[in-house]
Amino acid sequence: MNKLLQLNRKLLLFLLFAISIIFIFTIILNNTKSPFEDIIVNQDKANFDIINPSFTINNNKEKISIRAERGNFISKDIILLENKVVFHSPQFKLSSNRVIFNQKKQTAKSSVASKFTSKGTTILSEGFEVTENGDIILFNGKSILILDK
């Protein structure tokens, strides 16, 4: 009978030791960061060249300020502005989420949903094009004109 009790005790100690090693291993894995997580976080932060870019278009009538959350240089003069891009002047406000801005020619173009607001007028369109230093704004694609009273 002693041999049977000794065998069960050895088996019980082995199972207890194995369970405690698995428990310690899972605690260590849950508390350490994977190196891949750091790479992904760093890549998300480095996906753009400019944080909060701000530009101005000077035309004959007024100054139009341009702001965005981030921007990427496509070439020396062309910048892709992304996330809450806003063209603002005393006369109007034009917003979109993705705009290509040419600093040298003072033009801009977007092919995503855009909203133009001015006194008594709202235009929703699938894109726009700002030409001739902001004197002309062309709306692209399906557009909705809303006139307020």
> What string of H, E and C letters represents the secondary structure of the chain?
CHHHHHHHHHHHHHHHHHHHHHHHHHHHHHHCCCHHHHHHHHHHHCCCCEECCEEEEECCCCEEEEECCEEEECCCCEEEEEEEEEEECCCEEEEEEEEEEECCCCEEEECCCEEEEECCEEEEECCEEEEHHHCEEEECCCEEEEECC
Q: What is the pLDDT of residue 96?
A: 92
Fold of 50-147: lipopolysaccharide transport protein A fold (2.60.450)
Q: What is the pLDDT of residue 77?
A: 87
Dump pLDDT digits (tens) for 88-140: 988 889 999 999 998 888 889 998 999 999 998 999 999 899 888 878 888 98
Q: What is the pLDDT of residue 51?
A: 85
pTM of the model: 0.63
The C-alpha R_g of the chain, in whole angstroms, comes to: 30
